[in-house]
Amino acid sequence: MTSGHRDQKYIHGYSPIEQDRLRRQAELTEFVIYQDVNFSQTDHILEVGCGVGAQTQILLRRFPRLKASCIDINDEQLASARETLGALDYARDRFEIHKMNAEKMTFPENSFGGAFICWVMEHMPNPARVLSEVRRVLRPGSSVFITEVMNFSYFLDPYCPAIWKFWMAYNDYQYDRGGDPFVGVKLGNLLRDAGYTDVRTHVKLLYADKREPELREKLLHDREELMMSAVDELLQDGHVDATLVEAMKREFHDVRKNQNAITFDSFMQATARVP
Ligand SMILES: C[S@@+](CC[C@H](N)C(=O)[O-])C[C@H]1O[C@@H](n2cnc3c(N)ncnc32)[C@H](O)[C@@H]1O
């Protein structure tokens, strides 16, 4: 593992391909992300790092009385979120989109009755600051649901050394630029230190073997897309070379054809309450 944070850079980029990936990813992982998410007693939530609105779409569908104020730092994501949500009848008049940095929100105190954050903290150089800001704008008694990566837990069988090598280069690259691909495991400490109560953490699995070949194929495809989202950056920066990228693609091709393949990943979902 390398250390020392250099410049901050968003590892996935904001291309239309990446934006489609976020939509597919949200759809694919809904069954596990939303198992325990409950905003049925909440009228208005804050969504931090809404991206293209892929999670907002699910939240508004699942909780028909909910309104969401969504923030993101990037104009392309915000434009895409506006378009996606604007086209949904059930979302009409139920969302607001704001360009805002999660570390420095302009909402007044006590603005919302809950918060949802998904795949965002890994990109934050100062997650403690974000959690403190979120706490500031939530009313007492509000619940937060935070879903974050634990990239050390990805495993494929048969063992795929090129994929593994590429994945570790990806993680080093993100870490060196001020992100944290392992932040999921730290959510309990971060929430406790930020003064939240009832902090609970749940390890969630994205795991499939020959018993669920369709899910396995989708998970493998999703992971290949995720890794490919960073290929240009990693090549430019010399973290990987073209030979490794080719070997990684070959291994994905082979493992996707293998009837005995197993794909395993886990992530953390933390819930907590504002005192
Ligand atoms: C991987 S995407 C996740 C999007 C969405 N939550 C989802 O699950 O589809 C991370 C998002 O966080 C946004 N982001 C990164 N840093 C941010 C910051 N400081 N403030 C607000 N949003 C930020 C990025 O622009 C990006 O849209």
* Fold classification of 16-273 (topology level): Rossmann fold (3.40.50)
- What's the pLDDT at 189? 98
pLDDT of residue 90: 98
The answer to whether the CB of 118 is under 6 A from ligand 1 is yes
Of 147, 148, 153, 154, nearest to 183 by C-alpha is 148
pLDDT at residue 64 above 70?
yes
Residue 151, Ramachandran bin (φ over 0: left; ψ between -120 and 50: alpha; else beta): alpha
**Structural element, H or E, at residue 21:** helix 16-33
- 19 CB under 6 A from ligand 1? no
Inform me whether the pLDDT recorded for 1 exceeds 90: no
Q: Is 51 in the pocket of ligand 1 (CB under 6 A)?
A: yes
CA angle 143, 21, 254 (to 5 degrees): 120
Per-residue pLDDT averaged across 97-116, rounded? 98
Ligand 1 binding pocket includes 45 (Cβ within 6 Å): no
* pLDDT(6) > 80: no
Report the distance separating Cα 233 and Cα 268, nearest Å: 26
For 195-220, what is the mean pLDDT? Answer: 98
Ligand 1 within 6 A of CB of 272 = no
pLDDT of res. 96: 98
Q: How confident is the model at residue 17 (pLDDT cuts 50, 70, 90)?
A: confident
Q: Do 60 and 68 contact (CB within 8 A), yes or no?
A: yes
| Residues 86 and 107 sit within 8 Å (Cβ to Cβ) | no
CA atoms within 13 A on the CB side of 248: 24
Q: At what angle do helices 54-62 and 75-86 cross, to 10 degrees?
A: 30
The C-alpha angle 169, 171, 175, rounded to 5 degrees, equals 115
Nearest ligand 1 atom to alpha carbon 47: 6
State the chain's mean pLDDT as an integer. 95
Q: Are strands 155-157 and 262-273 parallel, antiparallel or unpaired?
A: antiparallel
Residues paired with residue 144 on neighbouring β-strands, in sequence order: 115, 272
Q: For residue 164, how far is its CA from the centre of ligand 1 (angstroms)?
A: 25
Is the CB of 102 within 6 Å of ligand 1? yes
What is the rounded CA–CA span in Å between residue 94 and residue 63?
A: 11
Q: What is the per-residue pLDDT for 11?
A: 77
Residue predicted with more confidence, 59 or 11: 59
Q: Is 120 in the pocket of ligand 1 (CB under 6 A)?
A: yes
pLDDT band of residue 158 (cuts 50, 70, 90) is: very high
pLDDT tens track for 21-56: 899 999 999 999 999 999 999 999 999 999 999 999
HSE, side-chain direction, 13 A CA sphere, residue 8: 8
- pLDDT at 62 (0 to 100): 98
**Per-residue pLDDT at 16:** 85
31-35 contact pairs (CB < 8 A, 24+): 32/204, 32/205, 32/206, 33/118, 33/147, 33/204, 33/269, 34/58, 34/62, 35/204
Per-residue pLDDT band for 8 (boundaries 50, 70, 90) equals low
Strand partners, 70: 47, 97
Q: Which atom of ligand 1 is nearest to the CA of 101?
A: 20
Which whole-number Å values give the CA distances from 6 to 10, 76, 179, in the listed order?
13, 25, 10
Q: Whose CA is nearest to atom 2 of ligand 1?
A: 51
- Given ligand 1 and candidates 30, 69, 95, 120, which is best to mutate, with the most ligand atoms within 8 Å of its CB? 120
Residue 4's pLDDT band (boundaries 50, 70, 90)?
very low
Domain ranges of the chain: 16-273
* Residue nearest atom 12 in ligand 1 by C-alpha distance: 49
Band of the pLDDT at 3, cuts 50, 70, 90? Answer: very low
Q: For the residues 174-203, what does the mean pLDDT come to?
A: 97
Whether residue 256 has pLDDT greater than 70:
yes
Would you say the CB of residue 126 lies under 6 angstroms from ligand 1? Answer: no
pLDDT of residue 12: 78
Cα–Cα distance measured from residue 58 to residue 79, given in angstroms and rounded to the nearest whole number:
18
Q: How far is the CA of 117 from the centre of ligand 1 (A)?
A: 9
Ligand 1 pocket check for 146: Cβ under 6 Å: no
The mean per-residue pLDDT over the stretch 75-82 comes to 96
What is the rounded (10 degree) CA torsion for 268, 19, 162, 150? -10
